Structure 1
Amino acid sequence: MNREEVVEIFEETGVLQEGHFKLSSGLHSDKYLQCAQVLQYPAKAQELADELADRFADVEIDVVVGPAMGGVTLSYAVGLALKKKTIFTEREEGDMTLRRGFKLNPGDKVLVVDDVLTTGKSVNEVIEVLDEEGAELAGVATLVDRSGGEVEFSAPVKSLLKVDVTAYEPSECPMCEDGKKIDKPGSRDI
């Protein structure tokens, strides 16, 4: 699957949105990639997940882990493609953790799957959980990388689409200056 095919699926399903958005990082932007829009179509979601899985075909993976909320559906689809156990982390009292009886074994090689990579905060929180459990990061898979190359991990990062979207500090946001109503579509309370 090439970039144009990914963009076509994103356009068909309304992933790219324009307006005034408060990102999970606290920054503001005039564009937002709402990957949940594509994930509501199982066949399209699985097509994207299969492509992500193919990009990790040569990596040893025992478990796929996605952070709630953005990574839950996608990680499940990638786990299905890889035929691997798939679990998710979620916040408990503000901290990312394993709940619901999910467990990782020491030495498990883990592929972390999230919808969008911006600052790397959610993925880093999952990596902290892996470290606590003695598991190893095998790779990071995302639908979209909008980090601008600013985020690095100790394992390969592979994304279906790299996008440059301008983000502003709230004090320097032109949409705020224009008085535009802000939308906070992310799942993290900040």
Structure 2
Amino acid sequence: MTSDEVLQVFRESGALLEGHFLLSSGRHSGQYLQCARVLMDPRRAAMLAEALAGSLPEPVRQTIDKVVSPAMGGVIIGHEMGRALGKEAVFLERPTGRFELRRGFTIEPGERILMVEDVVTTGLSSREAIAAVREAGGEVVAEAALVDRTGGSVDLGVPFHPLVAIHFPTYAEGEVPDALAAMPLTKPGSRAGAA
């Protein structure tokens, strides 16, 4: 799928929103990609996962032992990527603010992991999830995401393979433009306390 085709899927599903949003990163934006909305149709989720899996370099696909994703946003696309790649898919949770494996999920020492996210905005959640996998004994060989909101500027410390890279401006609390600040603020994300 081309970048335009991917964004068209988001538009058609009502997942590309305009307004004033407080992102999980704590930054403000005039645009928000609600991946849960685009992924609520299992056929659409499978199609996007197949496209994302197909975009991975062959050496990455061949070395993956397991797919891991951070909850909440990465759970559906992580599961679909596991299906597309024929690998087990597990997820990390933050019951106390730090990512950890629960529900009997394990990572074996040296297991090669593909980290999967829905949207990467600053990379903070991804880096925290990668650190949790390393603490559990796994080796993150790459990260894949539906959307890279940084437009290609993020460094996750591992190879990063987004299906589409876009750049919607984001703003720190004291830098929000007046026109955006005048709009009602919405917190659409899943992280407690931020969005």
- TM-score for the superposition, normalised by structure 1: 0.95
Match of 2:45 in 1: 45
Confirm whether residue 187 of structure 1 aligns to residue 190 of structure 2.
yes
CA distance in 2, matches of 1:127, 1:170: 27
Query: Counterparts of 2:181 and 2:50 in 1: how far apart (Å)?
Result: 42
Cα 1:175–1:142, aligned 2, differ >3 Å: closer, same or farther?
A: farther
1:93 and 1:21, CA in 2 relative to 1: closer, same or farther beyond 3 A? same
Contact 1:170 1:176 in 2 (8 A): no
SS of 2:94's equivalent in the other structure is strand
CA distance in 2, matches of 1:95, 1:164: 28
1:86 equivalent to 2:73? Answer: no
Instruction: Give 1:38-117 correspondences, 5 Å limit.
Output: 38-56=38-56, 57-59=58-60, 60-117=63-120
Aligned to 1:170: 173
Instruction: For 2:127 and 2:104, locate their aligned partners in 1 and report how far apart those are by CA, in whole Å.
Output: 21
1:151 shift after superposition: 1.7
Give the AA of the match of 2:91. F
Deviations 1:12-51 (A, max 9, x none): 1112100000011111111111111110011111011011
| C-alpha displacement of 1:171 | 1.5
Distance 1:73 1:84 in 2: 14
Q: SS state of the match for residue 124, structure 1?
A: helix
Does residue 13 of structure 2 align to residue 13 of structure 1?
A: yes
Partners of 1:23 and 1:177 in 2: how far apart? 14
Which residue identity lines up with residue 182 of structure 1 in the other structure? Answer: L
Provide structure 1 residue ranges, at least 5 long, that are not aligned to the other structure. none
Q: Aligned-residue CA RMSD in angstroms?
A: 1.4
Q: Taking structure 1 as reference, are residues 177 and 109 closer, same or farther at Cα in structure 2, changes over 3 Å only?
A: closer
Is the aligned partner of 1:124 residue 2:127?
yes
**What are the superposed Cα offsets for residues 93-128 of structure 1, whole Å, 9 maximum, x if unpaired?**
111110111000011110000000111111111111
Q: How many residues in Structure 1 have an aligned counterpart in Structure 2?
A: 190
Percent identity reads 46
Name the CA distance, whole Å, in 1 between partners of 2:135 and 2:115.
15
How far apart in 1 are the matches of 2:180 and 2:6? 34
Deviations 1:126-154 (A, max 9, x none): 11111112211111110100123332133
Separation (CA, whole Å) in 2 of partners of 1:175 and 1:109: 46
Distance 1:35 1:15 in 2: 6
